[in-house]
Structure 1
Amino acid sequence: MTPPTRRMLLAGETWLSYGIHQKGFSAYTTGGYEEGQTEWVAALQSQGWAVDHIPNHLATEDFPWTAEDLEPYDVVVLSDIGADTLHLHPDTFVHGQRTPDRLAGIAEYVEGGGGFLMVGGYMSFSGFEGKARFHGTAIEDILPVRMLGYDDRVEAPAGVTPEVQAPEHPILAGTPADWPYFLGYNRLVADGGETVLSFGRDPLLVVDGHGSGRTAAFASDCSPHWGSPEFMAWTGYALFWDGLLRWLAGSEAPAAQ
């Protein structure tokens, strides 16, 4: 009998870009919509995951309100999406009305048995200029890390290679021992749990249980620029993410192929 497909909800990993082109006396502007999750989602789908994706520009209105709304998912992932995007629904920001705290809803979902992952980036953890703003929120309360509360980026243009701290952890089962380099990460402080991967004294992957669920903080990115092309092309890329998500879902058994 084929096991049921595992489901993941991903919010973030998209952005709008604007450019000004100055040509002598005259100028014109261009704009575009860009996505960073495409290869990551494809890798997860190859491992049997069904992925629902909410881009940043829709998440303010479309992200689920409550723990009950999140129950269909085995794992919820926030990646490169700031806390304000989930806190400031138009009913609150524009009309001054009370709305549910969706970060508290994620915490309640985890306490009830769900899995949660935050992936690093300029709008993750504390983030660029501290603008991601997850420090002091319900998300920090459920993660096994403490956030800095100010610009937490570590840019590593020369590359930095992960050190495996827990080689026997089921997350890493089948993953090659030699890791590719990354080009940066969010600096975090491990707070309980188990540090599976690190960059020297700084944690890269910390995992723990919370209530009846499980949580993980991955301090670098799933895609460029911090997630290097070598990481994206690495033979262990899909295996690692599948192993992490399966662990968060409470199942170390490989997904059906």
Structure 2
Amino acid sequence: MNDRILYAGDSHLGGAAAYLAGVLSHGGIPFDHVPSDAPLGPTLGLTEPRLYVISDYPVKNLTDADMQRISGDVAAGAGLLMIGGWESFHGAAGEYHTSPLAEILPVRMQNSDDRVNAARPCLVEEGASHPILEGLPLERPPGIGGYNRVEPREGAEVLLFARHCPVEVDPRGQYTVTPGARAPLLVVGHHGRGRTAAFASDVAPHWVGGLVDWGEGRVKACAPGGVEIEVGSLYAEFFTRLVRWTMGA
């Protein structure tokens, strides 16, 4: 097992995958990327990743042997991170809920379409103290535009929630924000010797919403073969920490 990441999904490096790939490059974290329209097997056969990242990647591109390999690697100490999207968890066509990976992720998935689209932002709310979140200014929470509905497994820890905050405007033009329902957003756990994590929103627009610009500083980055991104400094810090924690670095 080496220190590389196997990152599958989010279209290609010239599209949505440029966001996480750019953050990984900015953080000096080596990775191999498999586009959403390519099978995982050929790349999986050439590497021994320290972390698997599956983000908006069709389950049909994974064979049973691929998933058994991932499950075995995580039990032996590798990490597994699933990031949300239309083809993650159940999604519109993800349908990971019946796959072997459903048994090792720290969340229970729905058995039907689990997408929640929020026209009015959901605020990111801290659920528990954790090294991933240490020092991040969540008292001034960023917002997201959607997520996959999941539930934590027994023994898993919910670090972040998505809090719906409906905004109403009265006839005088006064705004009222009323905290509404909340849903698990970041859940972490373990499988065997490996760490697991589920981030139920997206890493790239549109679901990532205002989170992509979180932080007063700006980070510009470009992964090899990708396009340049410009994101908030705390966005980059958060996803770098999430990746490093899940891979055990």
TM beyond 0.5: yes
| Shift of residue 75, structure 1, vs aligned partner | 1.1
Which of 24, 47, 53 is the matching residue for 1:77? 53
1:195 equivalent to 2:193? Answer no
- 1:219 corresponding residue in structure 2: 200
One-letter identity of the residue aligned with 1:116? L
Match of 2:131 among 170, 178, 185: 170
Question: Highest Rg: 1 or 2?
Answer: 1
> Deviation at 1:148?
0.6
The alpha-carbon deviation at position 7 of structure 1 amounts to: 2.0
Instruction: Name 1:156's counterpart in structure 2.
Output: 118
CA distance in 1, matches of 2:41, 2:247: 26
Deviation at 1:175, TM superposition (A): 2.4
In 2, Cα distance between equivalents of 1:70 and 1:195: 31
Deviation at 1:144, TM superposition (A): 1.1
Alignment correspondent of 2:88? 124
- Which residue of structure 2 lines up, in the alignment, with residue 234 of structure 1? 214
Shift of 1:6: 3.9
Secondary structure, aligned partner of 1:14: coil
Task: Name structure 1 gaps, 5 residues minimum.
Answer: 16-32, 88-99, 252-257
Higher relative contact order (CA 8 A, sep 6+): 2
- Quick one: distance in 1 between partners of 2:97 and 2:44? 21
Gaps of 5+ in 2: 164-181, 216-233
The answer for the alignment partner of 1:205 in structure 2 is: 186
Determine whether 1:247 maps to 2:228: no
In 1, the alpha carbon distance for the partners of 2:20 and 2:52 equals 15
Of residues 86, 105, 115, the one that matches 1:143 is: 105
**Residue matched to 1:19:** none
Calculate the TM-score normalised by the size of structure 1: 0.76
Per the alignment, residue 56 of structure 1 pairs with 36
How far apart are 1:138 and its partner, in Å? Answer: 1.2
Deviations 1:28-74 (A, max 9, x none): xxxxx962011221122111211211101222553415xxx552x22
Counterparts of 1:124 and 1:53, CA distance in 2: 16
**Share of identical aligned residues, percent?**
38
1:14-33 alignment, distance < 5 Å? 14=11
User: Alpha-carbon deviations, 1:175-222, whole Å to 9, x = none?
Assistant: 232331111100001112100001244110000011010100100000
